[in-house]
Structure 1
Amino acid sequence: MSTPAILTVDDDPAVSRAVARDLRRHYGETYRVVRAASGAEALDALRELKLRGQQVALLLADYRMPQMNGIQFLESAMDLYPQARRVLLTAYADTDAAINAINLVDVDHYLLKPWNPPEERLYPVCDELLQAWQSTPAAAAAELRVVGHRWSAHSYKLRDFLARNLVPFRWYVADDPEGARLLEAAGVTADDVPLVVTTEGKTLVQPDTATLAGNIGLTTQPASDFYDVIVIGAGPAGLGSAVYAASEGLRTVLVERRATGGQAGQSSRIENYLGFPDGVSGAQLTDRARRQALKFGAELLSAREVTALETCGSARVVHFADGTRIAAHSVVLATGVSYRMLDVPGCADLTGRGVYYGSAATEAPGCKDQEVYIVGGANSAGQAAVYFSRYASRVHILIRGEDLRRSMSRYLIDQIEAIENIDVHPFTQVERGEGEEHLERLVLTDNRTGDQTAVDASYLFIFIGAEPGTDWLDGVIDRDPHGFVLTGPDLLAGGKRPAGWPLQRDPYHLESSVPGVFAAGDVRSDSVKRVASAVGEGAMAISLVHRYLEGQ
């Protein structure tokens, strides 16, 4: 925690130096003494301290100052640091004004100038006020701070990005007192949110994720323009590839558009992963794998969107959305899948404002004592239902089929059946979402009878389908009709190699229609959609990369 500050403001240089000197002599080891020559200068200093997340314990202001007197300053300072103790420095002739100030701006004490000797007139007063402040100190914000609106899609996107990248942050609603103080300190209004204040006090107004990543310590720029292997996607398959590639001495860069872990990273509890009998959260598993890859020397580029893949002789070139590119001898496609959009009226407009794709763990505390609706019957939906049941008054799982047995692991079904506030609704689908600023209602349809029911709902979490998001590979990589990457034997239709295949050998098991480009995990056609198999394929892809490089 940073050292709390004592701020003094006096337009008389001699008095200002004297009070700062006396305060530093007695409190310099435990407090930082800040000196200002005017009320405006002092307010600027307080705003900077506020943005840096530093505490202010005591304010001492001279009563007679031009432009802004001490009372006016203390009144404005209360908006930034309401818990700081306030002292007015006055001459004997201004005693009446000082007494009035105690009632006007809740001044804690007034001191007559001169205060000599300070051991009798200054320190006892400050000691008492600082002791009172220490008993109810303001919370120091040691982490990133985000100010936004509760039902803002942009605010949600930034919070979700930070949470999934395991970046600690504190969330403030713009209308709350502390949120309003941060906005005032940054010189912006509630219309300008989301506002991000970094741990260094830098303010970012409505940043995109790439800008945010570059300002919070995430690496966004590659250290080189050429590698042995580029791994695209930092889910379980991509992390597995990065760990094995880097540990075996390959120059490795791992590129991720959103956050490490992919869909698995959003899982609140994975209980069927080998080696974790008590289960492990997706965030924990992701963090361990990420640190392992970095330990072996892999680079991790965050918030970088890949838009194209190009073959240039023996090099494989990856293009980014900002127009830059990097190249390598080989590429591993591990981009995974994303949840399919729920194509019903109202939901698209309310995405990020009550309608969410994936578990959106950042929203869990806001679900306290609310009813939560989950669409989907696979493991990810079941894990989310168990997680949200700790917060919500009731969790409703909506499935189109008869029950969960065909799509969900038995251990999860048993857990759901044992939790009293989870209800499973078979043969039920969402017909539409309704609401103005945020989701307020859902219309549900019984797909057997066609009967519709309207229910009040502020939270809908969607876990349906799997879309590989491989359109950027059009014309370069062969894919199946659903967009999944074809590899190995699946490319040998009728016993023939893919069109344009330049080598005399058949594609390796995980190799795509372009030599040296491999696919691992959920993005690969007919892969097993499990975390363990994705990690295994990621590791296997690197063994094939070695074989490919040796044959070059």
Structure 2
Amino acid sequence: MATRPVLLTVEDDPAVSRAVARDLRRRYGDTYRVVRADSGPDALAALRELTVRGEATAVVLADYRMPGMTGVELLEQAMDIAPTAKRVLLTAYADTDAAIRAINEVDLDYYLLKPWDPPEERLYPVLDELVEQWARNARPSFEGATLLGHQWSAGTQELKEFLARNQVPYRHLPAADAAAVMEAATLTEADLPAVVLADGQVLRQPTLRELAERCGLATTAGSALYDVVVIGAGPAGLGAAVYAASEGLRTLMVEQEAIGGQAGQSSLIENYLGFPRGVSGDDLAQRARDQAVRFAVEALTTAQVVGVEPRGDGRVVRFSDGSEVTAHAVVLATGVAWRRLAATGADAFAGRGVYYGAAQHEAAGCQGEDIYLVGGANSAGQAALHFAKFADRVVMLVRGGDLRHSMSEYLVARIEAQPRIEVRPRTEVVAAQGDGRLQRLVLADRAAGTEETVAASRLFVFIGASPLTDWLDESFLRDRHGFLLTGPALLDQERRPPPSWPLNRDPYHLESSVPGVFVAGDVRAESVKRVASAVGEGAMAVTLIHRYLETI
């Protein structure tokens, strides 16, 4: 929010152009940036570039007589690119009739006669009034990425979540404001969603990897060898990376989506030690990321790991782009993903009214609405309380008969005391309906045996999670739900390790069925699904890694 607004002057006579710019800088140079153009086409090109980059143009001063395009023609076209800019025509006395006509034809704000000496009497009083009028209604310029795309587009939602969760400053323009930027960037509907970066680069339908690279996020490893590779950047992965790097181990942390993992989407974590007023998931993730960077952890984003395998004393981590790195030890902290809603039509509206999890940035868009939320655990309770600050009504659809069966008591008490939250027990979503976006839900009351259809534009889903382990080969043993077995869970009834175990010792407590590969956080079988325990397991994994490294 720091760039100065622009005063654009358009004059084909170099001497006059320099004189105009000199007088403007003398009076307004501290608060405005003076930009010169020597023709109408050049001025329009400059306006487009400024608009695409999110810079505000306060005033356009154009000479009436210019070859190729008159000042009136220029100011008329400038209205479409920078509609809020004040328009001033510079004209000689002989052309005053044309200037007067232009006031009505192109909504001209003022015309100035040349020469304007002394400027203190004939130039500055006019411009002072115009810039004051402009400043009263102007929005501050924005330094960050501009997201262009329809609100109910799954592609737009994916880019929005990626930017928000990776702490990239951005704005999502409403349709009215997006039209001017689209015209300036020569974008069509077929190009959407698009992202305009702070330097004016335009990305048409970018992939997350392309967007990450253009935003300065690392996507490929800077070395071929590390002491520790941590796969996953949720609380467990961040804990492992921080502790490993702080103890002198060269550490690479790999994340496919955004640092913070599923916990990063939590609106408020109230039971994490050291935060008596609670902390949002993205705030906690950003603090942990800053801490990791301070200890020289190398972090990759949008990097997909497709395999981990032993190779001699090393552990090779293979990526989807064909590259690979070798580490002495690996920590698997890939976490879990929200289970998909089985209701008819729900998949068709994913990102277009049906959302999994709930990051803070979603809440503001629910202002004044009735929203629905599926789930009865702590994550659902925290989200309901957060959304209740914005929405008129939050309806919690709970499969069980009582919130206390799966939610902490302190959350239940707050939900019961919040008049905007309605809890509907034994109720399930059986269908999602709409035309291009979610508009209706069909709800089944299992206790009464009835169904009803309700109007709904947003549904947030928190119905348990599945481990992200499908990409691992069969050498990694799992339980029947897909969670990774570690340590004592790998031993049989006679306390013997599995037949594939190659060492003459038992697996360490967090060690997987592949020696040197440790597991931390929610992806581990029988783990406690809490942020604090995930961080603790990440730290414990590093202690066990030191023990493992002493034996190889």
Superposition TM-score tier, normalisation by shorter sequence: over 0.9
**Residues 26 and 370 of structure 1: is their aligned pair in 2 closer, same or farther, counting only changes over 3 Å?**
closer
Q: What does 1:263-282 correspond to in 2, within 5 Å?
A: 263-282=262-281
Matched with 1:38 is: 39
Instruction: Name the SS for the 2:438 alignment partner.
Output: coil
Structure 1 residue 132: Cα displacement: 3.0
What is the CA deviation profile of residues 440-484 of structure 1, one whole-angstrom value per residue up to 9, with x for unaligned ones? 111111223432111111111111121112110022311112111
Q: Which residue of 1 aligns with 2:126?
A: 125
The code of the aligned residue for 1:368 comes to Q
Per-residue Cα deviation, 1:232-256 (whole angstroms, up to 9, x for no partner): 1111111110110010000011111
- 1:18-39 deviations in Å (ceiling 9; x for gaps): 3233333444444322111211
Contact conserved, 2:244 with 2:542, CA < 8 A, in 1?
Answer: yes
Q: Tell whether 2:398 aligns with 1:399.
A: yes
Secondary structure of the structure 2 residue equivalent to 1:316: strand
Q: Does 1:109 align with 2:110?
A: yes
Q: Is the 8 A contact 2:266 2:359 kept in 1?
A: no
**Which moves more between the two structures, 358-367 or 432-441?**
358-367
The 5 A counterparts of 1:329-344 are 329-344=328-343
Asked whether the 8 Å contact 2:382–2:411 carries over to 1, the reply is yes
Once the two structures are overlaid, the 10-residue window that deviates more, 40-49 or 104-113, is 104-113
Match of 2:170 in 1: 169
One-letter amino acid of the counterpart of residue 93, structure 1: A
The runs of at least 4 aligned residues of structure 1 exceeding 6 Å deviation read: none
Residues 174-194 of structure 1 show CA distances to partners (whole Å, capped at 9, x for unaligned) of x21x21111111110233222
Question: Who is 2:449 aligned against?
Answer: 450
Partner of 1:67 in structure 2? Answer: 68
Amino acid at match of 2:151: R
**1:49-448 matches, cutoff 5 A:** 49-173=50-174, 175-176=175-176, 178-448=177-447
Query: Counterparts of 2:132 and 2:527 in 1: how far apart (Å)?
Result: 64
- Deviation of 1:92 after TM superposition, in Å, equals 2.2
Residue 504 of structure 2 corresponds to which residue in structure 1?
504
Question: How much has 1:531 moved relative to structure 2?
Answer: 0.9
| 1:535 corresponding residue in structure 2 | 535
Question: Partner of 1:154: helix, strand, or coil?
Answer: helix
- What is the distance in 2 between the residues matched to 1:160 and 1:103? 46
- C-alpha deviation, 1:215, in angstroms: 1.5
> What SS is found at the alignment partner of 1:260?
coil
Matched position secondary structure for 1:179: helix
Shift of 1:112: 2.1
- 2:536 pairs with 1:525: no
Q: 1:25 to 1:402 in 2, by over 3 A?
A: closer
CA contact (8 A) 1:231 1:254 kept: yes
Alpha-carbon distance between aligned partners in 2 of 1:30 and 1:443, rounded to the nearest angstrom: 56
Question: Partners of 1:322 and 1:77 in 2: how far apart?
Answer: 45
Aligned residues: 550
Distance 1:406 1:30 in 2: 60
Corresponding letter in the other structure for 1:222: A
Alignment CA distance shift 1:27-1:369 (3 Å): closer
- Which residue identity does 2:530 align to in structure 1? R
Q: Distance in 2 between matches of 1:543 and 1:185?
A: 56
2:132 and 2:338 map into 1 onto residues whose CA distance is 54
Q: Separation in 2 of the partners of 1:225 and 1:115?
A: 67
CA deviation string 1:62-117 (max 9, x = no partner): 12223322112112212222222211012222211100111122212112233344
- What is the SS of the residue equivalent to 1:467? strand
One-letter amino acid of the structure 1 residue matched with residue 480 of structure 2: P
In the alignment, does 2:19 pair up with 1:23? no
* Deviation at residue 376 of structure 1 after TM alignment: 0.9
Taking the aligned partners of 2:524 and 2:68, their CA distance within structure 1 comes to 69
| More displaced 10-residue stretch of structure 1: 338-347 or 82-91 | 82-91
CA contact (8 A) 2:264 2:359 kept: no
Question: Within 2, Cα distance between the matches of 1:267 and 1:293?
Answer: 21
Check the 8 A contact 2:230/2:241 in 1, yes or no: yes
What amino acid is aligned across from residue 316 of structure 1 in structure 2?
R
Distance 2:28 2:362 in 1: 43
Question: Secondary structure of the equivalent of 2:270?
Answer: coil
Q: Could you tell me the TM-score, scaled by structure 1's length?
A: 0.96
1:405 is paired with a residue whose SS is helix
Measured in 1, the distance between the counterparts of 2:355 and 2:26 equals 56
Aligned residue for 1:349, secondary structure, equals helix
Secondary structure of 2:522's counterpart equals helix
SS of structure 2 residue aligned to 1:545: helix
Structure-2 separation of matches of 1:99 and 1:33:
26
Query: Is the 1:246–1:252 Cα contact (8 Å) retained in structure 2?
Result: yes
Structure 2 counterpart of 1:10? 11
Q: Deviations over 1:253-276 (max 9, x none)?
A: 111111111121111111111222
Superposition TM-score, scaled by structure 2 size: 0.96
Q: Secondary structure at the match of 2:173?
A: strand
Q: Quote the sequence identity (%).
A: 60
Q: 2:135, 2:432 → 1: CA distance?
A: 49
Listed as ranges, the gaps of 5+ residues in structure 2 are none
Residue 49 of structure 2 aligns with which residue?
48
Structure 1 residue 135, shift from structure 2 partner? 3.2
- Residues 22-31 or 379-388, more deviating: 22-31
Shift of 1:362: 2.6
Give the partner amino acid of 2:111. Answer: Y
Unaligned runs of 5+ in 1: none
SS of the residue corresponding to residue 58 of structure 1 reads strand
Letter of the 2:516 counterpart:
G
Structure 1 375/131 Cα, relative in aligned 2: closer, same or farther at 3 Å? closer
- Of stretches 201-210 and 240-249 in structure 1, the one that deviates more from structure 2 is 201-210
Alpha-carbon contact 1:382-1:408 (below 8 Å) kept: yes
8 Å Cα contact 1:332-1:519 kept in structure 2? yes
8 A contact 1:83–1:138 mirrored in 2: no
1:507, 1:326 → 2: CA distance? 24
Give the secondary structure class of the aligned counterpart of 2:125: helix
CA distance in 1, matches of 2:288, 2:90: 58
